[in-house]
Amino acid sequence: MAKQKKNVILGVTGSIAIYKACELVRILKQSNINVIVLMTKEAQELVRPLTFRTLSGKRVYTDLFSKESEWDEYHVSLAGKANLIVIAPATANIIAKLAAGICDDLLSSTVIATKAKILIAPAMHEVMFKHPVTQENIAKLKKIGYQFIGPLKGKLASGDVGWGRLVDVADIAKRIKQLL
């Protein structure tokens, strides 16, 4: 009997590190993992959905109220299919939304609607990452069982050096495989 593919929802947000999520999709597909990409509105300003559709071979979900097909509660149906939800890169914004229970887009609504494990890979400037509100939000999410990987200290997109660099995608993929 063939081993059933695992479903990973990959939520991508509006961090400049989004380009690394493209490589993560490729690595996961090579590992026979079904990747379903959900993009925030901000993420679409940096990378077009077509890129992720090409890499994943699947439809990319971008809107809570899609006009592409008949009506569906995507956040509920996708949440039920997920073996794991990964947010990489995760901005301070999505971390704050999840910590507050705000469900105003497809990604945050899907996360709140799932029973699957959640893995968050933050990527932001060090000032944002170290801000007391962000740290409080991360602690709150960890307390309810969300897992985090990173960030690392290194050169940031701004040219500064500090905490906030996205963990290497190979390490994120390794953690995903462990969680599945």
> What would the pLDDT profile of 146-165 be if each residue is shown by its tens digit?
999 999 999 888 888 999 99
For the chain, what is the mean pLDDT?
A: 91
Q: What is the pLDDT of residues 72-110, one digit of tens each?
A: 555 567 887 889 999 999 999 999 999 999 999 999 999
| Helix axes 92-100 and 106-113, enclosed angle (nearest 10) | 40
Question: In the CATH scheme, what architecture does the domain 7-179 have?
Answer: 3-Layer(aba) Sandwich (3.40)
This prediction has a pTM of 0.92
| Residue with the two structure tokens 């490589």 | 23
Confidence category of residue 68, pLDDT binned at 50, 70, 90: low
Report the pLDDT value the prediction gives residue 71, as an integer from 0 to 100: 47
Full DSSP string of 110-142: HHHH--SEEEEEE---HHHHHSHHHHHHHHHHH
Q: Which two tokens stand for residue 41?
A: 């509105």
Domain ranges of the chain: 7-179
